[in-house]
């Protein structure tokens, strides 16, 4: 695996691969098996796999979250080597990423106004900004995103469509620990007790998935919210339409939806979601 610290050197290297299928996995580092699954999928579906590790300041709406974000470059490099990544970009500075930025305007519509868009003002503007800049540097044919951040995946697909970019956005399943906890870079910030309490998130999503029926869902949602609030500080739990991501109160038989949750354990904000068949 070759490591590049400047976009100039990276671009020069990538020029040599213009006839190859380039698969790209953007990350913020502190890598785990969830990230590795994206690299493996990219490896299967592309000739050259490029990964980036960049904790993008413009997508954080809480300065403490940004300051506390784990950085584990040495371990990340070992993990990526083992997973078969070909090229890694760890920019030496924030300026290196944004030095050639071309301002873009993307109409994300209501997709960015719900859930993470409503609760983390400016977050998706930062995500769209960094992903469009990274796409411009790497010029991938395919880019791989985890469905753990389902709303982000929908927004990147919308961005690519709006900007008419010729990039296939591939969604990859959520990787969980044996306990059910969705893998996350932020999990290493949890205390032992918080990590046990955090299981309420995946357990409640599974319970919701099992119990949900067509019709009104407010009673079931309230039960689930109580379960979550007993062990964590619930931000939101909602069942939404797969395309518009709008919250729903009444479900139709035979349809597929998705349930989304964000809850905090101490200072750590955890996000998860699950597919719902009615
Ligand atoms: P991050 O480093 O948190 O920005 O994540 C980089 C990419 O890895 C994003 O596309 C995430 O959705 C994805 N990802 C993070 N955790 C998981 C997981 N547990 N399973 C699958 N994908 C994940």
Same domain, 195 and 155: no
Residue range(s) defining the domain that contains residue 8: 2-172
Same domain, 217 and 88: no
H/E segment holding residue 13? helix 7-15
Confidence of residue 82 (pLDDT cuts 50, 70, 90): very high
Q: Average of pLDDT values for 45-63? A: 96
Same domain, 165 and 202: no
Q: Give distance in angstroms: CA of 120 to centre of ligand 1.
A: 18
Specify the 3-state DSSP secondary structure of 230: helix
- Count the domains in the chain: 2
Q: Work out the mean pLDDT of the chain and round it to a whole number.
A: 97
Same domain, 117 and 38: yes
Domain boundary (172, 205, 234) is at 172
Share of the chain above pLDDT 70, in %: 100
Name the one residue in this structure whose structure tokens are 């930062």: 126
H/E segment holding residue 82? helix 73-83
Residue 180 within a domain:
no
Q: Which pLDDT score, from 0 to 100, does residue 103 have? A: 84
pLDDT over 90 (residue 102): no
**pTM of the model as a whole:** 0.97
Residue 83 within a domain:
yes
Same domain, 47 and 125: yes
Specify the 3-state DSSP secondary structure of 198: coil
Q: Average of pLDDT values for 85-100? A: 97
Alpha-carbon Rg for the chain in angstroms: 19
Give the residue, out of 146, 153, 188, with the most ligand 1 atoms within 8 A of its beta carbon, to mutate for a pocket test: 146
Residue 103 within a domain:
yes
pLDDT over 90 (residue 170): yes
For ligand 1, whether the C-beta of 145 sits within 6 Å is yes
The reply to whether 35 belongs to the active site is: yes
Same domain, 37 and 142: yes
| CATH assignment of the domain containing 113 | 3.40.50.620
- pLDDT tens for 217-264 read 999 999 999 999 999 999 999 999 999 999 999 999 999 999 999 999
Q: Where are the beta strands (DSSP E) in the chain?
A: 2-4, 22-27, 48-53, 87-89, 142-146, 168-172, 215-216, 233-241, 250-251, 256-265, 268-277
Q: Which pLDDT score, from 0 to 100, does residue 278 have? A: 96
> Which residue out of 32, 35, 73, 123 is catalytically annotated?
35
Q: Average of pLDDT values for 206-212? A: 98
Sign of CA dihedral 57, 60, 62, 64: negative
Phi, psi angle pair for 256, to nearest 5°: -115, 135
Residue 46 within a domain:
yes
Residue 196 within a domain:
yes
pLDDT over 90 (residue 104): no
- Ligand 1 atom closest to the Cα of residue 185 is 3
Same domain, 255 and 228: yes
Q: Which pLDDT score, from 0 to 100, does residue 143 have? A: 98
Q: Which pLDDT score, from 0 to 100, does residue 100 have? A: 87
CA dihedral 93, 145, 113, 228 (to 10 degrees): -110
């Amino acid at each position: 695996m070759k490591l590049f610290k400047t976009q100039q050197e990276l671009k020069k290297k990538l020029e040599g691969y213009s006839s190859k299928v380039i698969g790209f996995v953007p990350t913020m580092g502190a890598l785990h098996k969830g990230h590795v699954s994206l690299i493996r999928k990219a490896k299967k579906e592309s000739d050259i796999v490029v990964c980036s590790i960049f904790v993008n300041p413009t997508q954080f709406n809480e300065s403490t979250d940004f300051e506390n974000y784990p950085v584990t470059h040495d371990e990340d490099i070992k993990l990526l080597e083992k997973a078969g990544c070909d090229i890694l970009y760890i920019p030496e500075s924030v300026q290196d990423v944004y030095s050639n930025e071309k301002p873009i305007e993307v109409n994300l519509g209501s997709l960015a106004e719900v859930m993470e868009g409503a609760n983390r003002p400016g977050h998706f503007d930062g995500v769209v900004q960094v992903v469009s800049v990274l796409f411009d540097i790497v010029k991938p044919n395919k880019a791989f995103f985890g469905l753990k951040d389902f709303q982000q995946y929908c927004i990147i697909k919308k961005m690519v469509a709006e900007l008419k970019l010729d990039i296939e956005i591939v969604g990859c399943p959520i990787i969980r620990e044996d306990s059910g906890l969705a893998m996350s870079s932020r999990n290493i910030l949890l205390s032992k007790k918080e990590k046990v309490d955090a299981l309420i998130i995946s357990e409640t999503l599974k319970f919701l998935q099992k119990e949900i029926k067509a019709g009104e869902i407010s009673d079931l949602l309230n039960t689930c919210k109580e379960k979550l609030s007993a062990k964590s500080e619930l931000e939101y739990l909602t069942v939404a339409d797969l395309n518009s991501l709008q919250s729903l109160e009444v479900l139709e038989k035979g349809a597929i939806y998705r349930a989304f949750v964000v809850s905090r354990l101490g200072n750590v904000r955890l996000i998860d979601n699950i597919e719902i068949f009615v």
